[in-house]
Amino acid sequence: MSENEGDKQLLHLVFGGELKKLGGTEFRDLDALDIVGIYPNYKTAQAAWKAKAQASVDNAHMRYFVVHLHRLLDPEAKGAGSE
């Protein structure tokens, strides 16, 4: 993927796995986590998340998440918007 010169890189991680309980965030098997990838912005991360979530819709315990890595890397940064 190429970036425009003015675009700020806001890294996002998409991953998922089978949860122990519905509504929880504890995974059944950490070794079986699906690390989908790291994306340069929220829009592409959301598209990857949506594709994986829709593909696993038959398993109620399977959940995918988007983690805002840019917030972890630079927690003092302002202007990240709603991403």
Residue 3 lies in a domain: no
Residue-wise pLDDT tens digits, 40-77: 999 999 999 999 999 999 999 999 999 999 999 888 87
Q: pTM (2 decimals)? A: 0.81
Residue 80 lies in a domain: yes
Which domain range does residue 62 map to? 38-83
Instruction: Determine, yes or no, domain membership for 71.
Output: yes
Query: Which pLDDT value is given to residue 20?
Result: 97
Neighbours of 63 (CB within 10 A): 19
Residue 16 placed within a domain: no
Helix, strand, coil percent values for the chain (each to nearest 5): 25, 25, 50
Counted domains in the chain? 1
Residue 22 within any structural domain of the chain: no
- How does pLDDT run across 2-49, given as a tens digit for each residue? 445 457 889 999 999 999 999 999 999 999 999 999 999 999 999 999
Q: What pLDDT sits at residue 81?
A: 53
Beta-ladder partners of 39: 12
Is 23 inside a domain boundary? Answer: no
At 74 the pLDDT is 86
- Residue 6 within any structural domain of the chain: no
**Which pLDDT score, from 0 to 100, does residue 7 have?**
74
